[in-house]
Amino acid sequence: MGFGQYLTDHMLTIEWGLKDGWGKPEIKELAPMPLSPAIKALHYATSAFEGFKVIKGVDKRSRLFRPEKHMERMRRSADRLCLPATLGVDISTRAILCTILSPVGAYFGPKKAGVSLYADPRFVRAWEGGGGAFKLSSNYAPTLYSQKFVKEKGCQTSLWLYGPEETLTEAGTMNIFVFWINEKGEKELLTPPLSGLILPGVTRESILEITKAWNEFRVVEKNITMLQVLKAVEEKRLLHIFGTGTACVISPVAELCYKNKRYAIPDSDDPDSVPQRILKEYRDIQLAHLGPRVVLVCLNLFINDLIEFQLAVNGPHPWTHPIDQPAR
């Protein structure tokens, strides 16, 4: 099936104008959109996007996973671009919100082995004061050259480093986690903090909440340098590295490539390993395997003059939002 190769036959569009505000939502057949060659989105990348999943549970009902988190991130991205902009570099006066749907398979394909990350400080994804914390189209196009370079080196994606200390920020389009034994002998799950350099991932946030609830090891948001990671590898204190995101969910890292040297990372195949345990609990929530942590939350979607979301919480863990009608 691949990822994003096929689209469903309908889409939703809502137009916005500076004078009249939002128009009526319209569901129509999937079709090309007629656009002026002078629109700002083509010239200045005044566009943002968001993606989240609908997953069919064990009870055959389809559920959105934490949609309110994704919609809030979309709002922040739009605010950053001064959306809801003539060819002048100015705030847009018209915009359109378009929703399309696609059945998806595994993000990295059927291969089950962990991914290989290429770390090169010459390539920088984000910088202080920039837009790295927002899901802007302009953040993705500049990474395509480095992605091509990385694949030519036999790796799958980049490990993004930042600054003279070569701080880890993201892995490709994923947030990154490191599980190790720190120098005090404590097991610790680390991920970079939300400093403006990384995207505030919904999967990232969910994993932090899940693992903190376990209360089994330290869960910390702090900067991690490449030197610290390599030192932990050499001292056999590094247990796992994995990337996270809506598309990939959890992607174990099998290898780091840095300065013409390859470093093997312990695998995460054992079902009792931390990455696999996280993935199981995450999937159980998404698939609505009923248990003490899972809650059913009804999502009613009305399309008339506006879109209205109503959430009725029936338990302590409102992460899954069943679409109103059971899936067939």
Total residues belonging to the chain: 328
Q: Which residue type occupies 201? A: G
Amino acid sitting at position 176: I
- Of residues 310, 271, 285, 288, the one with CA closest to residue 209: 285
Q: What pLDDT is recorded for position 90?
A: 60
User: Homologous superfamily of 115-269 in CATH?
Assistant: D-amino Acid Aminotransferase, subunit A, domain 2 (3.20.10.10)
Structural domain spans, the chain: 10-46+81-99, 115-269
Weakly modelled stretches of the chain, pLDDT under 50: 85-88, 290-317, 325-328
Adjacent-strand bridge partners of 119: 159, 258
Enter the tokens of residue 248. 């990939």
Q: According to the model, what pLDDT value does residue 22 have?
A: 87
State the Cα–Cα distance between residues 7 and 34, nearest whole angstrom: 19
Q: What is the pLDDT of residue 308?
A: 35
Measured distance CA(254)–CA(133) in Å, rounded = 27
Chain segment 198-215, per-residue pLDDT in tens: 999 999 999 999 999 999
- pLDDT for 94 equals 81
CB 263 within 8 A of CB 256: yes
CB 294 within 8 A of CB 63: no
Provide the pLDDT for residue 87: 37
Q: What is the pLDDT of residue 97?
A: 86
pLDDT value for 236: 97
Q: Could you give the strand order of the β-sheet that contains 54-56, starting from the edge strand earlier in sequence? A: 54-56, 62-65, 320-322
